[in-house]
Structure 1
Amino acid sequence: MDFALNDIQQMLKDSAGKFIHNDYDFETRQKYSHSELGYSEDNWQLFAELGWLALPFAEEFGGLDGNATDLMVLMTELGKGLIVEPYLSTVVLAGNAIQRGGTAEQKEALIGGIVGGELKLAFAGLEAQSATDISSINTQASTAGSGLVLNGKKQVVLHAQSADKLVVAARSHNNNGNIALYLVDANAEGVAAHHYPTNDGARASDLTFTNVAAELLGDSDDAAAVIQAVLNDAIVAVSAEAVGVMDKMLAATVEYTKVRKQFDVPISTFQILQHNMVDMFMECEQARSMLYYAAITIGGGNSEEQVAEANKASQFLKWKVGQAARLVGQTAVQLHGGMGVTDELDVGHMFKRLTMINTLFGSMDIHLDNLVKQRQAA
């Protein structure tokens, strides 16, 4: 494997790192998180100017033709700032679904708005009972006159509050058992939304669809492969974000133990605490290695064998990152003492974000269980 960054990846890393360092400190992030919108619209326009919103999209629609490895580089840096902007929901999830599954006309109509920062999206995919199993989705599409309508419920739809359009996974209107994707106006008649802040400072919504007018995304009503590919990319994105968060937590913990004294000496001189921080470092590096492997594998091709390997790699990644995040987060909080869980210190908020990431797209326990079942069935 070649771990060297290419020119575009180095540009992404440098621009994101500079932005977080200069313009997105913890206090600023908290101000955005507690605002009515829940993020900064000025930052969103800056993301567009820097090309971050264009990353996964084809050049013919104004994109950069980026892949999972490019996404990994950007999200690792953004993770260090605990960003609250709707990048995951708009670009990685819903926008990616349009890029992978939409018709040429739909891509032409929508992707330019995403790249330019004018259009925000949310992905209403999995449901409470479905975890990682898209086949158990209950939301139903049906025909109504010459059009289509949706009925059903979606929970924890990230950044639906700020979305202009929704990409919704539902059972096909053809009643053939397929899972299809549909486009819905976020403010359409029949969409009922309960918006709320999440534990990590972001925003999410529970949505109910009652005879909501919808448009089929793409030409096919079988979007299972598209949804799985989108989820694989999303797992790489949030795992990269988690690695960035863990890097920041490790650095903060090492620095704190150098200045915190007990018995008139820095607690960093205590061997047991040194061992704890070495364990944190090892978990960070193991998670990073698994992240590299998964990102390269997921971008490896579209043959049946390559897709199967990509699906397995994303499951291994989610399990390993969840395991690492638990140890790194808990140890960081423990070594900071009581202040590690206060609102005034960023360490507690980083731990909350790691906890939230573990629940997204299936927890580490769910993915481990799936891997075991696959192994037993082989």
Structure 2
Amino acid sequence: MNFNLTEEQQMLQDSLRRFLSNEYTFEKRGQIIHSGKGVDETTWRAFADMGLLGFTFPEENDGLGGNAIDTMLVMDSFGRALVVEPYLSTVVLCGGLIRDAGSDSQKAAILPAIAAGEHLMAFAHSEPGSRYNLSQVVTTAEKTGDGYVLNGRKTAVLHGSQANQLIVSARSHGDIADPEGVSLFLVDRNANGLTVRDFATHDGHRTAELTLDNVQLNHDALIGEQEKALPLIEKATDLAIAALCSEAVGAMEALNEATLEYLKTRKQFGVPIGKFQVLQHRMADMFIATEEAKSMAILAASEADSDDREERRRALSMAKALVGQSARKVGQDAVQLHGGMGVTDEMLAAHLFKRLTLINLLFGDADYHLGQVSDQLLAATA
């Protein structure tokens, strides 16, 4: 496998990192978080102008025809800068679902609007008690003469309150964990019967709880084939996992740099604490863990677009498990090397550690995905 970036990819990464370094400062991020809006309009428009919001969309829908490797470069830079804007929910999850399963009219209406920075979306799939089981859907979709009626609850909807439109999963037949019977629907944020409760997570991002009470939809709200949505949900989730792995690597690299700088400047007994050999060893272990995670993030990005479900899911689970373990190692060691300062809001390290903790939990933590890999290996040898 060739790990070298193309000239265009290197230019993208350099320009994005330069923009974030100059315009998306630690103080600017704090202002966005405290505003409670969850997105800075000026920053989001800048992302659109740079082509980031339509990178993976088809050219006929105002995109650039990119793939998961391009998403990896963007998310790595976002991880370093701790970007809180809804790129994952709008572009990776919902944009990916519309690109892969939407009708021609849905693609034409939605994808160019996302690419232009004019349309925010959120994916409402997880439900109370479902944990990481993607097939467990209790929300119902009852077919009527002129459309559908949705009832149920959704939890942990990333940037749900900031979205103009949501993609909601609902079941029309089968048991609550039956892989058949689940469909995807477009629901406007201001739809009658939809209640959204917005709140902040401890890493500064926004999420929401949704209640759907007799939400009425037209037939054209259906995305893809009726009652056959689980493979689409799995593919979108795998793309999100690959993106999160890259974001985690960027955050770990930034955390290593911040910790190394702290070791060079913090003095004890008249010398920088970085002179102490035991701390040098800890720092070396952190760099090794980050490099291991980077290799797995590249694997995740290279497999995320694959149509081979079994191979793709195995690779993504392996990546998510190792990246989660590495993130915990790097985050905990960084906090310890910073001492008591490592958990204060004034230190970048604390915010990086919080984000790494949330990344580990999203779409399955390290223990869950380790179990998935184990189950797949046992099934293959049975």
- TM-score between both structures, scaled by the size of structure 2: 0.95
Q: Could you tell me which runs of 5 or more consecutive residues in structure 1 were left unpaired when the two chains were aligned.
A: none
Check the 8 A contact 1:150/1:209 in 2, yes or no. Answer: yes
Partner of 2:199: 196
Judging changes above 3 Å, is the alpha-carbon distance between structure 1 residues 375 and 264 closer, same or farther for their aligned structure 2 residues? same
Indicate the larger mover: 233-242 or 176-185.
176-185
Partner of 2:367: 365
Q: CA deviation at 1:267?
A: 0.7
Indicate the larger mover: 328-337 or 121-130.
121-130
- CA–CA distance in 2 between the matches of 1:172 and 1:314? 29
Q: Which amino acid aligns with 1:283?
A: A
- CA–CA distance in 2 between the matches of 1:346 and 1:250? 11
Percent identity reads 47
Q: CA deviation at 1:39?
A: 2.4
Indicate the larger mover: 3-12 or 206-215.
3-12
- TM-score between both structures, scaled by the size of structure 1: 0.96
Check the 8 A contact 2:55/2:65 in 1, yes or no. Answer: yes
Q: Which amino acid aligns with 1:180?
A: S
Q: Which amino acid aligns with 1:172?
A: S
Partner of 1:284: 290
Q: Alpha-carbon deviations, 1:244-274, whole Å to 9, x = none?
A: 0000000110111011111111111111101
Check the 8 A contact 1:184/1:213 in 2, yes or no. Answer: no
- CA–CA distance in 2 between the matches of 1:136 and 1:28? 39
Indicate the larger mover: 145-154 or 173-182.
173-182
Secondary structure at the counterpart of residue 35 of structure 2: coil
Q: How does 1:293-332 map to 2 (within 5 A)?
A: 293-299=299-305, 301-302=306-307, 306-332=308-334
Q: Which amino acid aligns with 2:71?
A: L
- CA–CA distance in 2 between the matches of 1:133 and 1:183? 22
Q: Could you tell me which runs of 5 or more consecutive residues in structure 2 were left unpaired when the two chains were aligned.
A: none
- CA–CA distance in 2 between the matches of 1:131 and 1:226? 19
1:161 paired to 2:161: yes
Partner of 2:35: 35
- CA–CA distance in 2 between the matches of 1:249 and 1:257? 12
Tell me how many residue pairs correspond in the alignment. Answer: 374
1:138 paired to 2:144: no
1:62 paired to 2:65: no
Q: CA deviation at 1:203?
A: 0.5
Judging changes above 3 Å, is the alpha-carbon distance between structure 1 residues 82 and 51 closer, same or farther for their aligned structure 2 residues? same
Quote the RMSD (CA, aligned, Å). Answer: 1.5
Q: Which amino acid aligns with 2:207?
A: A
Secondary structure at the counterpart of residue 122 of structure 2: strand
Q: Which amino acid aligns with 2:53?
A: L
Check the 8 A contact 1:297/1:310 in 2, yes or no. Answer: yes
Partner of 1:19: 19
Displaced runs of 4 or more, over 4 A: 173-176
Q: Alpha-carbon deviations, 1:110-152, whole Å to 9, x = none?
A: 1111111111100002223223322111111111331111111
1:259 paired to 2:265: yes
Partner of 1:335: 337
Check the 8 A contact 2:128/2:153 in 1, yes or no. Answer: no
